[in-house]
Structure 1
Amino acid sequence: MNINLEYYKIFYYVAISESFTKAAEELCISQPAVSQSIKLLEESLGSKLFTRVPKGVRLTPEGEVLFSYIKRGYEYILLGEKQFRKMLDMEYGEIRIGASDMTLQFYLLPYLERFHEIYPGIKVSVTNAPTPDTLSLLYDGKIDFGLVSEPFSAKPGIHSRRVKKIRDVFVAGGKFGHLKKTVLEYKELERLPIICLEQNTSTRRYVNEFLRENGVVLNPEFELATSDMIVRFAIRNLGIGCVVKDFANEAIQSGQLFKLQFDKEIPERHICIITSRQNPISKAAMKLLEMLNSVD
């Protein structure tokens, strides 16, 4: 049975208002057009849907059964339209982001605070993960965009934009104070207890590659999951910590740690925003990306 869905819409409004005339006014069409649509619907279904009463119309028993289903379906459509409009008006919606501790803490967080002030109805879900896992989430369409740190290798169709410079450093506590005023060679790290991130991170790969180019291979004393823990271990003099400098700034300024000096610095790298050309991005996510892209 192939029935014009517009007939069911007209049927819904006639049933709600119990009047062909009122339904026509609500739908902004003529009363004859309403009558004709109901007639065609009744012919297609093979049964009368309304009976006339002094002040309008009333549903037949068959019409009551049909209306019980049409009402739920049509009002669900109206609810969907309402939620859709709320999303367009930024009153409702969700943004899914992938970000590491570093990219969240030292880049994304201030923007999220500002965004939430402007659009409090938008839910923001942040999946905390290292760069390789964030890329996988983007490939699978589980996030709208990601914040990652270089270096990384992405599949075709992934767009990347650099947004902030970062630098990797080695830091130490008071136990290693004899190194404080010395310009070191990186080779000397091989004889020191080193604290660094686990192997599956872009930071660890980047530092390892730089050191390899300088003839150095580290054998870390501790491999930890987060840079915050590296800073804590270094403060307790458990070794020389390798972190992005932002993580250690507070401890350096307070004198709990100091930055080791080398004959050359590890080159800067970047935090990047990554998006996929294959994944649709919601209006809410697009608004946040516009905010992120508005500042160089």
Structure 2
Amino acid sequence: MVGNLEYFKVFYYTARLGSVTGAASELSISQPAVSQSLKALERSLGVALFQRAPKGVRLTGEGQLLYSYVAKGYEEIERGVEKVKQMLNLELGEVHIGASDMTLRFYLLPFLEEFHERYPGIKVIVANAPTPETLKLLRAGEIDFGVVSTPFDQGADICAEPVREIEDVFVAGRRFISYKNKMLDLQELEKLPLIYLEGSTSTRTYMDAYLAENNVAVQPEFELSTSDMIVQFALRNLGIGCVVRDFAMEAVESGRLFELRFNKMIPKRQFCVVTSRKAPLGVAAGKLLEIMRNQNRRTRDDS
């Protein structure tokens, strides 16, 4: 049994300072309280730890051995306390974020740049994953928060905060120029070679559900892993790409691609910041979210 840890604290400071008076001053207790604690520790160990010296006290052989271990423990504690203070002051720490290529590129990246400039001692670790995987990481406690796109299964354990609208579009190149500026029915998509995202991304899930609601059944010509690659395939006239508008914006503005127009608008979706209702945020993660929320408020006020 270690016994009363307070005795070891008194022992540590007395040994380090070589003085009962110094230990009492350091610990803000009386000299008799220091002497009583040392005597109690010596009784519990059955050995003398100090002997009187011309000025103060000095360790016995047994005291020196004990001090070599106790000092390591208390110095580690002091270092730990200092590290915690540094974390509270945002001088060091880590933030773990989950984000897809889309949410990282078209929402999160400017905030990470600002945060890194203001707090260079904080390490930011991004788990690059689609929305379903990001939610799994959040529920498992492996990330502090995530940035995802709707639709997704929120659940009572997840808090979702919408931060930006996004819009899904169909884009095409010169091979399909006859469709430019035409008002199309969604059923027309059944006849066209489509380029879709593969897998269970929120974008693919959303478009599949939306077209099914409108009795449109499509069989994509290509299923790709990234929206950037969908744009590249569309630029090479391999089909009509289904992407979030941001990915195709540059190609559309330059005239290399155009957006198909439909007589029924595809409803907009949202980027959302998701946090766990079960796990508290760390100081660094909280500060990054504060920066993001402040910017969102300024954007809303400007608009």
Separation of aligned partners in 1, 2:16 and 2:222? 71
Show CA shifts across 1:216-261 (max 9, x none).
Answer: 1111111111111111111111111100001111111112211111
Tell me the CA shift for residue 144 of structure 1: 0.7
| Counterpart for residue 240 of structure 2 | 240
Does the alignment pair 1:153 with 2:153?
yes
Amino acid corresponding to residue 168 of structure 1 in structure 2? D
Amino acid corresponding to residue 198 of structure 2 in structure 1? E
Separation of aligned partners in 2, 1:2 and 1:74? 14
Alignment check: 8 A CA contact 2:154 2:160 kept:
no
Amino acid corresponding to residue 48 of structure 1 in structure 2? A
Give the stretch that moved more between structures: 88-97 or 173-182: 173-182
SS of structure 2 residue aligned to 1:265 = coil
Separation of aligned partners in 2, 1:12 and 1:209? 68
Separation of aligned partners in 2, 1:218 and 1:110? 36
Amino acid corresponding to residue 146 of structure 1 in structure 2? G
Separation of aligned partners in 2, 1:225 and 1:250? 20
Show CA shifts across 1:108-130 (max 9, x none).
Answer: 11111111122111111110111
| Counterpart for residue 16 of structure 1 | 16
Following superposition of structure 1 onto structure 2, how do residues 53-68 of structure 1 map, counting pairs within 5 Å?
53-68=53-68
Separation of aligned partners in 1, 2:40 and 2:159? 53
Give the stretch that moved more between structures: 249-258 or 19-28: 19-28
| Counterpart for residue 175 of structure 1 | 175
| Counterpart for residue 195 of structure 2 | 195
Separation of aligned partners in 2, 1:283 and 1:170? 42
Following superposition of structure 1 onto structure 2, how do residues 106-125 of structure 1 map, counting pairs within 5 Å?
106-125=106-125
Amino acid corresponding to residue 149 of structure 1 in structure 2? S
Following superposition of structure 1 onto structure 2, how do residues 25-44 of structure 1 map, counting pairs within 5 Å?
25-44=25-44
| Counterpart for residue 260 of structure 1 | 260
TM-score normalized with structure 2 length:
0.94
| Counterpart for residue 300 of structure 2 | none
Does the alignment pair 1:227 with 2:191?
no
Separation of aligned partners in 1, 2:42 and 2:98? 54
| Counterpart for residue 250 of structure 1 | 250
TM-score normalized with structure 1 length:
0.96
Does the alignment pair 1:144 with 2:144?
yes
| Counterpart for residue 272 of structure 1 | 272
Does the alignment pair 1:134 with 2:134?
yes
Alignment check: 8 A CA contact 2:227 2:243 kept:
yes
Gaps of 5+ in 1: none
Give the stretch that moved more between structures: 148-157 or 267-276: 148-157
Tell me the CA shift for residue 2 of structure 1: 5.5
Separation of aligned partners in 1, 2:148 and 2:217? 25
Separation of aligned partners in 1, 2:64 and 2:239? 78
| Counterpart for residue 301 of structure 2 | none
Amino acid corresponding to residue 203 of structure 1 in structure 2? T
Separation of aligned partners in 2, 1:281 and 1:252? 40
Tell me the CA shift for residue 29 of structure 1: 2.4
Instruction: Tell me the matched-pair count.
Output: 296
| Counterpart for residue 101 of structure 2 | 101
Amino acid corresponding to residue 113 of structure 2 in structure 1? E
SS of structure 2 residue aligned to 1:58 = strand
Separation of aligned partners in 1, 2:276 and 2:249? 34
Does the alignment pair 1:76 with 2:62?
no
Alignment check: 8 A CA contact 2:20 2:31 kept:
yes
Gaps of 5+ in 2: 298-303
Tell me the CA shift for residue 155 of structure 1: 2.7
Amino acid corresponding to residue 20 of structure 2 in structure 1? F
Amino acid corresponding to residue 14 of structure 1 in structure 2? T
Separation of aligned partners in 2, 1:155 and 1:3? 47
Separation of aligned partners in 2, 1:279 and 1:106? 27
Q: Percent identity?
A: 59
Amino acid corresponding to residue 121 of structure 2 in structure 1? G
